Structure formats: C-alpha cells, structure tokens
Amino acid sequence: MQSDLKKVLYREDQIASRLDGLAVQITNDYQGKDLSVLAILNGSLIFMADLLRRIPLPLRLDCLRVKSYHGGTVSTGRVEFDHAALPDIDRRHVLLLDDILDSGNTLAAIIETIRAEARPLSLKSCVLLRKMKERHRPIEADYVGFDIEDEFVVGYGLDYQEQYRNLPLIGVLKT
C-alpha cells in the first residue's frame, strides 16, 4: 500500500508526538468540566482512539457517522448524517474530533446542527489535519494536529474508497 503513495508527510512517531501535545492542551482546557467527545466516523477512528488514551480526564464518547466525499478525492459539498443520531450533549462541554478540515462543509454542518438541536455549554473542534486553502465555509478548528497543503492524503484513518485507513502514517496518494 505504501507504494501507492507519492510521498509520506508524517510518520507514526511524528503523529504520536503531536498527539501528546494536543492531549496536553485539551486536558488543560477541560480540567474540571463535563466533557463529551463526539468523533466523526469513519476517518477519525484511529485519531480518536490514540488521542483519547492520552487525555487523563473523565469524558463521554459518542460517534457520528458522516459522509461528504462519497468515494472521490474531493468533497462533494453534500454532507450526510442522521441528525437523530446526535447523543445527549445538553449542558456539557463538547469536543468534535474529525480527521481533516478540507472544504469546511462537514464541520460547519455538524456545528450548525448541534447548535440548533442541543444546548452544549461549549462547542469546540479538533482535527488531525487542516488543509491550508480557502474553504467553502468560513470555519476553523480550535485544535489542529498538522497543517498540510491541498493534496489528497490517506493513512492513519483517512481513506480512498475505504482503502489505506490502516496505514500507520499519513501520505499523499498518487493520482
């Protein structure tokens, strides 16, 4: 699978080191607060598992299955998820975990839905990767693992047609 990569951006040890730093920030910010983590599946699964093991706080974890790429290499602009699947996050501090901030459509749609349908005490987002590009929606993440160029990446949970998620690194797919 690694032979399908044009280049490797981040190896396993680099990712682990950055997750240590994110965990310290998040732990400090949520100390003594009722925290609910809402992970966006499937892409954030590996990121979520590795990050949350580094956060020594009591927290609730729920997942939300969202689709926006629909098998391609660019966001379609169409975000699909079941609004009824939102967990009970009223009166809690909510941290959204997602694999990548690309167009901004997915994160914006989820945040808008949560604000309209729930009453969280606070709502922040954490992404493993943030593409450095103009977004379709004016949105930024509160916590960012790495900034990357506008390239299609796979590995460490990110996929192309449901492949490459299990790579222990993040790389640019050959096109």
* Alpha-carbon distance values, 26 to 22, 34, 54, 140, 142 (Å): 6, 13, 10, 16, 10
Report the chain (175 residues): mean pLDDT per 10 consecutive residues.
92 98 98 95 94 97 75 58 72 95 90 89 97 88 97 95 95 92
For the whole model, what pTM was predicted? 0.89
Beta bridge partners of 40: 64
pLDDT at 88: 83
DSSP 47: H
Distance CA 144, CA 108 (A): 16
* Ordered domains of the chain (ranges, CATH): 2-65+88-173 (3.40.50.2020)
pLDDT at 125: 97
- By annotation, the residues acting in catalysis are 102
| Of 39, 47, 131, the residue nearest 94 (C-alpha) | 39
* Tally of helices (H runs) and strands (E runs) in the chain: 3, 8
pLDDT at 73: 52
Q: Give the alpha-carbon dihedral of 62, 96, 81, 129, to 10 degrees.
A: -120
pLDDT at 82: 61
Contact of 78 with 66, CB cutoff 8 Å: no
